[in-house]
Amino acid sequence: MTEASDSVATRFGSGRAVQRMEDAALLKGRGRYVQNLCEPGDAWAVFVRSPHAHARIRSVDLSAARAMPGVVAVYGGADLQAAGVPAMKAGVGFRRADGSACAAPARQLLAAERVHYVGEAVALVLADSLQQAQDAAEAVQVDYEALPCVPSLAAALAREALVTPEAPDNIACEARHGDAAATAAAFARAAHVVQLTLVHQRVVALTLEPRSVRALWDAHGGRLLMQISSQMPTSVRKNVALALGLAPEAVRVQVGDVGGGFGMKVGSYPEEAALAWAARASGRPLRWMGERSEEFLSTTHGRDVQSHAALALDDEGRILALRVHSDANVGAFPTATNTAIQLLVGPWVQTSVYDIPLIDFHFRAVLTHQAPTGAYRGAGRPEAIFNIERLMDEAARQIGMDRVALRRRNFIRPEQMPYTNPMGQVYDVGRFEHVLDQALRLADAQGFAARAEASGQRGLWRGLGLATFLEWTGGNAFEERVTLQVQADGVIEVFSAVNQMGQGIATSLAQLVVDVFGVPLSRVRVVLGDTDRGNGYGSAGSRSLFTGGSAMATGAQETLRRARRLAASELEVAEPDIRYAQGRFTVAGTDRSIGLFDLAARQPEGHIHVEHTHTVAGPTWPNGAHLCEVEIDPQTGVVRLVAYAGVNDIGRVVNPLIVRGQLVGGAVQGAGQALMERVVYDDASGQLLTGSLMDYCAPRAQDFACEFRMDMDESTPCSNNLLGVKGVGELGTIGAAPCVVNAVADALARAGRGDAAPRLQMPVTAARLWSLLHG
């Protein structure tokens, strides 16, 4: 903290549980979501989507739709092709086993020759009202020739049909890591080998606000305005500009409030570029918001990986080697995101907090006629951590060793830091056993036996779950740019290219500014989401605070230094004689002074302006130890989460209130995957069976009514950024799923049904668990 450390910074600066400054407008109905920005004269857009998982488009008749009342325009894939709109670039850096490029069908903004999954857009209707656009969409006549489809991962691997001729095995690309021969030798000499097949089911990123777009073409200026619900506006700008043949500077993307992202609003979708093109072609501003059923069909889904994992241990329980072979269903279109998540990012943390000397990893991205997968909270790390934590618990059961003792024996020790894991990733700091010790106390693990006995008296099986884990954050985008402007009206306005999506980043950034300037929080105005103001990676990979926050802190310090120089000149003294506190510069030993905002008013521009770029040294490695307790009714298979506690090492905490909210919210999402969420496609037709909230079970408050106790350990700050912070937004999700499933497995083992524990698969619904128990 600078010399501005005073009562104001103490009350509102970092480390304080300040109420989110974003909330006042939202609670009063003054949010700036895309639909709040639309104008009465905007045309409404509706997409016509494929009812087939795989089909050839014989013809598209748009004439009847174009003749409907209120219709502004109707476009098919052929219209975009005639206009020279290119297909989206896959941009995949991985290759197939034979060294050839990643195999992928061409992805048009609107499908013209073939459709590759149910819900792929084939036409776009614009009309004066939403009802008119919906009516016209129903009048679009598409003649499909149904083709053999690949409805599932199993069908793809069986080669029952092909997604693209370039992949005769339906493998888009793959990656291998480690030393297969040395790993095989370690397994051969191991005293114990534990093996599991684990299914990470496909899930929906269920945001309160669906994808939303407003597009406006300025023919006079030759510029496009895109107002969009997105986590990465610069990425949207790039892809839209490419589709329309524009310079990136000719596209302005604005993001206001975002009603949830969870990774689903990372990058760019074909619909967004199609809407941009239609706004220019029609000359009308237009608006679109996906219906809930559309979002189930056409947004990127999460997870969908089948892993065969094995652990080799010596007779003392030390891990000798880890083998993981996984097939990831990336859907019909491999992308840079969905392939990197499964073939590289997940493997980066697969060995987690354990000192594992040898690995043999083989990961394949498999094509199917399903919607593409993409980033979803945790993005590859939940799958990896689930693999190793399920293995650790199962290893403890099979070799007859206490699972806490097994973990202690294999933890990476503090004196080994910085530690390079078998994937070449460098952990800068970490005290994993220290975190576990705190979590065991927080969860009152010693009192579990008494609680289990009480549950048993009520005919219930109680289990204690444990997960110790870490994750990688940063997106490997370590540079961030900010601008700061001290204005004459008494406001410090700051801009960053990181983005808000409900996670409270604006408040955290403002607190860092308060740390430096010592002014009330109300004096700081945070502006986000405008590519005309600045461009950057955006918000993904839990990078917003440790990259954006570091840039904001150093930018604020640079702004104060510049203001000090100006104050010295204004007061006609040497710069070392200037003192600063609470928004005022004073000449040491005198009563001569000038206010920060008065100083700004005296500048020729009427403000003090600084543009600043900062780079952090590397990723952060937040980690945690989570414990939970479940009760199982063996008569019905119903699993109830009754207790949850976690200690989380996320380095320095800027706002404990926000951090706890992120940790608890993430844990609920992870528990939801563990116990109830699952996307299901029909095994024959490729039709989506869980296409609405009538069919897809998402967690509600009543499902997890227990207290989620989350503590933070700040004793091990990150050394890769000046703030010492570590990413937190995804940590709870990563730890929760293995913690909950391990609790179910523990309950089964304690009830004498340990034979069922290795066969547990997510989601552990009542029906699935009952079937497992009763054959």
Q: How far is it, in rounded angstroms, from Cα 443 to Cα 407? A: 17
Residue 579: burial class (beta carbons within 10 Å; 0-12, 13-18, 19+):
middle
Kindly state the percentage of the chain with pLDDT values over 90.
91
- Write out pLDDT tens, residues 685-743: 999 999 999 999 999 989 998 999 999 999 999 999 999 999 999 999 999 999 999 99
> Does any domain span residue 364?
no
- pLDDT given for residue 538 in this prediction: 80
* Distance from C-alpha of 743 to C-alpha of 739, rounded to nearest angstrom: 6
Tokens representing residue 142 in the block: 């598409």
Task: Return the structure tokens found at 276.
Answer: 């941009």
Tell me what percent of the chain is helix, strand and coil, each rounded to the nearest 5.
35, 25, 40
Which residues have C-beta within 8 Å of that of residue 522, sequence separation ≥ 6?
none
CA torsion through residues 199, 265, 477, 245, sign? positive
Task: Decide which of 583, 615, 647 is a domain's last residue.
Answer: 615
User: Which contiguous run of DSSP H or E holds residue 44?
Assistant: strand 43-49
Report the CATH number that the domain containing residue 587 is assigned in CATH. 3.30.365.10
How close are the terminal C-alpha atoms of the chain, in Å?
62
- The CA distance from 49 to 689, in Å, is 16
639 with 578, same domain: the answer is no
- Model pLDDT for residues 530-587, shown as the tens digit of each residue: 999 988 888 887 888 888 889 999 999 999 999 999 999 999 999 999 999 999 999 9
- pLDDT tier for residue 258 given thresholds of 50, 70 and 90: very high
Three-state SS across 418-442? Answer: CEECCCCCEECCCCHHHHHHHHHHH
Please write the tens of the pLDDT for every residue from 598-616. Answer: 999 999 999 999 999 999 9
CA nearest to 599, candidates 692, 486, 494: 486
- Select from 7, 11, 4, 17 the least CA-distant residue to 504: 17
Q: Note the pLDDT of residue 246.
A: 97
* Dist. CA 199–CA 197, nearest whole Å: 7
> CA-based diameter of the chain, in Å?
87
User: CATH no. for residue 116?
Assistant: 3.90.1170.50
pLDDT at 1: 42
Asked if residue 349 belongs to a domain, the reply is no
Instruction: Name the nearest CA neighbour of 527 among 256, 234, 252.
Output: 256
Q: Give the strand pairing for 212-218 and 286-289.
A: antiparallel
Residues 42-62: what's their mean pLDDT?
98
pLDDT tens, residue by residue, 182-217 = 999 999 999 999 999 999 999 999 999 999 999 999
What are the tokens at 698?
């998402």
Same domain, 494 and 508: yes
Quick one: which of 651, 615, 618 has its CA closest to 541?
618
Report the distance separating Cα 363 and Cα 324, nearest Å. Answer: 8
Q: What would the pLDDT profile of 116-174 be if each residue is shown by its tens digit?
A: 999 999 999 999 999 999 999 999 999 999 999 999 999 999 998 999 999 999 999 99
Whether residues 140 and 62 share a domain: the answer is yes
Same domain, 627 and 535: no
- C-alpha 298/C-alpha 89 separation (Å) is 18
Residues 691, 711 share a domain:
yes
Tell me: pLDDT of 501 over 90.
Answer: no
**If we measure between CA atoms, which residue out of 380, 372, 377 comes closest to residue 345?**
380
Q: For 50, phi and psi rounded to 5 degrees?
A: -70, 135
Tell me: do 507 and 631 sit in the same domain.
Answer: no
Domain-ending residue, one of 298, 333, 367: 298
Whole-angstrom Cα Rg for the chain: 27
With contact defined as beta carbons under 8 Å apart, do 108 and 78 qualify? Answer: no
Domains: count for the chain: 3
Q: Is residue 51 part of a domain?
A: yes
What is the rounded distance in angstroms from the CA atom of residue 659 to the CA atom of residue 544?
Answer: 13
If you ran DSSP here, which 8-state letter would residue 651 be given? B
> Are residue 611 and residue 625 in the same domain, yes or no?
no
pLDDT per position as a tens digit, 663-674? 999 999 999 999
Tell me if the bond preceding 576 is cis, omega within 30° of 0.
no
Cβ atoms of 339 and 102 within 8 Å: the answer is: yes
Q: Are 367 and 332 in contact (CB under 8 A)?
A: yes
Q: Could you identify the residue written with the tokens 């992949």?
A: 167
The whole domain housing 504 covers 7-31+476-615
- Residue 594: pLDDT over 90: yes
Q: How far apart are CA 155 and CA 149, in angstroms?
A: 9
Look at the alpha carbons of 711, 715, 718, 724 in this order and tell me if their dihedral is positive or negative.
positive
Cis peptide before 357 (omega within 30 of 0): no
Q: Are residues 465 and 481 in the same domain?
A: no
DSSP 220-266: TTTEEEEEE--S-HHHHHHHHHHHHT--GGGEEEE----S--TTTTS
How far, in Å, CA of 530 to CA of 707, rounded? 39
Dump pLDDT digits (tens) for 327-370.
999 999 999 999 999 999 999 999 999 999 999 999 999 999 99
- Split at pLDDT 50, 70, 90, the class of 2 is very low
The mean per-residue pLDDT over the stretch 316-326 comes to 98
What pLDDT is attached to residue 9? 66
Q: Which of 648, 646, 626, 616 is nearest to 715 (CA)?
A: 648
Name which of 209, 74, 213, 78 is nearest 134 in CA terms: 74
Q: Average of pLDDT values for 646-656?
A: 96
- Residue 185 is assigned to a structural domain of this protein: no
Whether 347 maps to a domain, the answer reads: no
Token pair of 550 as six digits: 């570091």
Q: 644 and 685, same structural domain? A: yes
C-alpha distances in Å from residue 274, one per residue of 357, 381, 515: 49, 32, 44
Q: Is the pLDDT of residue 630 over 70?
A: yes
Q: How many C-beta atoms lie closer than 10 Å to residue 108's C-beta?
A: 23
464 and 491 part of one domain: no
Phi first, then psi, for residue 633 (nearest 5°) are -90, 105
Residue 31 token pair: 């949010």
Spatial distance between the Cα atoms of 267 and 339, rounded to a whole number of angstroms: 14
Q: Which two tokens stand for residue 667?
A: 């844990």
C-alpha dihedral, 326 to 327 to 329 to 333, nearest 10°: 110
C-beta atoms surrounding 249 within 10 Å = 12
Q: How many CA atoms lie within 13 A of 417 on its CB side?
A: 16
Q: Does the residue 395 lie in any domain?
A: no
Cβ atoms of residues 466 and 403 within 8 Å? yes
Spell out a b/e string for 260-273, using b for 16 or more CB atoms within 10 Å of the CB, else e: bbbbbbbbbbbbbb
Residue 338 lies in a domain: no
* Alpha-carbon gap, residue 734 to 729, rounded angstroms: 10
458 and 530 co-located in one domain: no
| Same domain as 544, residue 448 | no
> Average pLDDT of 736-753?
98
Confirm whether 419 is domain-assigned.
Answer: no
CA 186, CA 43: separation in Å to the nearest integer?
Answer: 65
The pLDDT assigned to 131 comes to: 98
Query: Where does the pLDDT of residue 3 fall: very low under 50, low under 70, confident under 90, or very high at 90 and above?
Result: low
Report the mean per-residue pLDDT for the chain.
Answer: 95
Final residue of a domain: which of 298, 326, 347? 298
